[in-house]
Amino acid sequence: MDWDYVYSLLKPFYSEDKGRPSLDPLMLVKILIIQYVEGFRSVRFTCKQIDQHITYRWFLGLSMDASAPCHSSVSKFLRHRVDPKTWEALFEYVLLQIKKEGFLSPETWASDETELKANANKRKRVKVVRKVVEKEDEYVLQLVNKKRLQHDKKPLDPKPPKEVEKEVICSTTDPDAGLSVKHDPRGLFAYHDHRIVDTLHNFILDAYVTSANVPGHRVLIERIDRVKQRVGYTPENIVLDAGYYNARLGRELEDKGIHAYVSYRRFHRKEHSKCRSSQFRLVKEDVYVCPCGVKFLYSTSTRSGYHEYKPDVKGSCANCPAANGKGDRVFRVSVHQEVYQQMKKRRLSEKGKVFRLVRPATIERSFAESKELHGLRFARYRGVPYVQIQVWITAMIQNLKKWTKLRSLQSHGIDLSYHK
């Protein structure tokens, strides 16, 4: 760590000729580094440990008879004195130094999200009615109308934006937190840490905090662009969890020249085991055949983004055991079927099978280290800006630890930097 650079970041927040002489801001930064390296639960507990351990005193430059700074001074320094963007700048500085030494790879990244329990009582909640503007997906409507015109059907007119009211459950303690039922069926308030790591040495390239009701596929493109601003490039491949199985995301990644390897997502459908949608075969353009041998021809395209196919002869599904006496079956194909087929082809390729093993060993391990060793299992603060500070410091600490190990190996003649 270049401590002179830390001083340059903190200089705008301190006056040289006004007020009482302050505590050394570098000492306050080092106290926070001790807390996050050791995974201490609070600043108060960290200051008690500093009073008792000579190693921490040596790191801070404290003499044996000097007392550690008050915990409230450290907390106010973190929350009120310094701009939250300062911590992101410090994280980026460490990452750029790692890049200069060649420990980052432009080949493959991995991305995922994890849940951080918010510092809020799950029982203190209130229902809030919010007005949301719903807009129709223009690209989906374009694909639907293209298919309808091919079959001499009238194109659908676009719908104007519509304002609807939605009832949302909010926390009275921490309004920024979102309600999550992932690990608790009764629901608890939490945040999401959206993370991107480099699969070469598992360095953290980005860590972004949102409320728990924001899925990862909505913010991934924005975060990839942010990482590109930091390191100057985008990856050739990206490995994603099943939660990122989204056609819009897949198409946007293809437009950027990034090959996405997404885990399979199993959808729960009430279908007969002998006549599943996945068992239908495309025999020629707009003609499908079901497992029972019935031909399905194109019928129409709906505004929801599906092409509908019905049996060539009406009543063909009357004696089919999969019909359950409900008449002829309607077979639906998504307008994004080409994107899904491309995802499946990549997932089943030899490289996809290798990446299936890479993701748990990189991004999942990164989350595990954050929670087990550095106290990121729950949010220490309230509000997205302050939880983001906690995540930035944790990510920086993890990068520093890996960087230290790699430099130590390099000094012994083991060079693990990237070589194409």
pLDDT tens column, 203-230:
999 999 999 989 999 999 999 999 999 9
Q: What is the pLDDT of residues 32-81, one digit of tens each?
A: 999 999 989 889 999 999 988 999 999 999 888 888 889 999 999 888 88
- Whether 99 contacts 412, CB under 8 Å: no
The confidence score (pLDDT) of residue 260 equals 92
Question: Does residue 8 register a pLDDT over 80?
Answer: yes
- Whether 297 contacts 314, CB under 8 Å: no
Q: Which residues on adjacent β-strands are paired with residue 131?
A: 165
Q: Which residue has the tokens 């090959």?
A: 259
Share the mean pLDDT of the chain. 89
CA atoms of 91 and 77, how far apart (whole Å): 18
Q: What is the mean pLDDT of residues 340-353?
A: 90
DSSP alpha helix (H) spans, 187-246: 216-231
Largest pairwise CA distance in the chain: 93
- Name the band, by pLDDT with cuts 50, 70 and 90, for residue 20: confident
Q: What is the mean pLDDT of residues 10-20?
A: 81
The confidence score (pLDDT) of residue 324 equals 62
What long-range pairs does 282-287 form, CB within 8 A, spacing at least 24?
286/151
CA atoms of 274 and 204, how far apart (whole Å): 46
Distance, C-alpha 400 to centroid of its chain:
22
Q: Which of 199, 203, 8, 28 is nearest to 89 (CA)?
A: 8
Q: What would the DSSP string read from start to end of 20-80? A: SPPPPHHHHHHHHHHHHHHT-S-HHHHHHHHHH-HHHHHHHT--TTPPPPPHHHHHHIIII
User: What number of CA atoms fall less than 13 Å from residue 389's CA on the CB side?
Assistant: 20
- Name the band, by pLDDT with cuts 50, 70 and 90, for residue 323: low
Query: What letter does residue 105 receive in the DSSP assignment?
Result: -
Alpha-carbon distance values, 355 to 114, 209, 254, 349 (Å): 20, 26, 18, 10
Alpha-carbon distance values, 397 to 115, 203, 275 (Å): 19, 11, 53
As given in the structure block, the two tokens for residue 25 are: 């801001």
pTM for this prediction: 0.89
Q: What is the pLDDT of residues 381-415, one digit of tens each?
A: 999 999 999 999 999 999 999 999 999 999 898 98
As given in the structure block, the two tokens for residue 182 are: 């992932």
CA atoms of 389 and 376, how far apart (whole Å): 12
Sign of CA dihedral 322, 326, 330, 334: negative
The confidence score (pLDDT) of residue 104 equals 93
Alpha-carbon distance values, 247 to 65, 83, 112, 156, 346 (Å): 63, 38, 17, 22, 14
Share of the chain above pLDDT 90, in %: 46
Buried b (16+ CB within 10 A) or exposed e, 176-215: bbbbbeeeeeebbbbbbbbbbbbbbbbbbbbbbbbbbebb
| 3-state class (DSSP) for residue 186 | coil
Strands (DSSP E) contained in 325-414 are: 331-334
Share of the chain above pLDDT 70, in %: 98
The confidence score (pLDDT) of residue 326 equals 65
